[in-house]
């Protein structure tokens, strides 16, 4: 234990996900040797995140404005929604350059052990978008949604979330619901593939 502000800083860093006590201590001691100008920039960046970041009223993506840049892009397909767990997942899909629709960020996945249920996620907003309840951009009518792509993580929680959404969405007429394909990684060995991945690879196999 250290005294005063240094220990307080270590404690705060330790609360961050993925940062253990030793890592928090290293970061804190690094900041002790950092120029005051660098610390001021860090403080300004933290304040900007606190005060200048909001969530898109349409898709729940992280945004500086009321509507994020993707939802505001008139060149994207308004009739297709790709459902992801977190905003960071959007960047992964965008880097492929293969998808030109819109997104919907759930804010997590169903996890009964962590007391995360449907009401804790942005599921009702998704249903409102598909049902045409939510207005699109200012003055625009809600677009007709023709396809929803479920892109939740291929783990137990993500699969449960995808199955739950699929059941809810099957009642919408003329709506195509799809799931991101997943399976064997390129260059991987079969003996090292887990059962869930192999199961998905078998069920999603393609005819040659």
Kindly provide the residue ranges of all beta strands, DSSP E only, lying in 54-127, ordered along the sequence: 54-55, 62-63, 77-84, 101-105
Q: How confident is the model at residue 139 (pLDDT cuts 50, 70, 90)?
A: low
Mean pLDDT score, 53-74: 93
Instruction: Tell me the sheet residues that pair with 147.
Output: 80, 176
Q: How confident is the model at residue 56 (pLDDT cuts 50, 70, 90)?
A: very high
CA gap 45, 203 in Å, rounded: 46
Kindly provide the residue ranges of all beta strands, DSSP E only, lying in 59-129, ordered along the sequence: 62-63, 77-84, 101-105
Q: Is 140 or 148 the better-scoring residue by pLDDT?
A: 148
Decide if pLDDT at 2 tops 80.
no
Q: How confident is the model at residue 134 (pLDDT cuts 50, 70, 90)?
A: low
pLDDT at res. 176: 93
Q: How confident is the model at residue 141 (pLDDT cuts 50, 70, 90)?
A: confident
Decide if pLDDT at 167 tops 80.
yes
The residues, ordered by sequence, that sit 6+ positions from 79 with a Cβ below 8 Å of its Cβ are 101, 143, 144, 145, 146, 147
Mean pLDDT score, 10-15: 93
| Pair 92, 134: CB distance under 8 Å | no
Q: Which two tokens stand for residue 137?
A: 């951009």
Q: How confident is the model at residue 206 (pLDDT cuts 50, 70, 90)?
A: low
pLDDT at res. 197: 75
The residues, ordered by sequence, that sit 6+ positions from 47 with a Cβ below 8 Å of its Cβ are none
């Amino acid at each position: 234990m250290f005294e005063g502000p240094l220990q307080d800083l270590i404690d705060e860093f330790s609360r961050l996900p993925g940062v253990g006590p030793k890592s928090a201590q290293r970061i804190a001691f690094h900041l002790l040797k950092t120029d005051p100008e660098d610390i001021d920039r860090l403080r300004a960046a933290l304040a900007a995140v606190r005060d200048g970041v909001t969530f898109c009223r349409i898709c729940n993506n992280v945004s500086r404005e009321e509507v994020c840049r993707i939802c505001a892009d008139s060149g994207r397909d308004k009739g297709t929604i790709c459902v992801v767990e977190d905003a960071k997942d959007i960047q992964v899909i965008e880097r492929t350059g293969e998808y030109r629709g819109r997104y919907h960020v759930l804010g997590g996945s169903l996890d009964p052990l962590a007391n995360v249920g449907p009401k804790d996620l942005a599921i009702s907003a998704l249903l409102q978008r598909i049902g045409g309840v939510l207005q699109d951009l200012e003055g625009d009518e809600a677009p007709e949604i023709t396809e929803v792509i479920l892109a939740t993580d291929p783990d137990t929680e993500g699969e449960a979330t995808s199955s739950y959404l699929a059941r809810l969405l099957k009642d919408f007429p003329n709506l195509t619901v799809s799931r991101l394909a997943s399976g064997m990684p390129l260059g991987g060995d079969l003996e090292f593939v887990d059962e869930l991945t192999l199961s998905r690879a078998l069920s999603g196999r393609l005819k040659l």
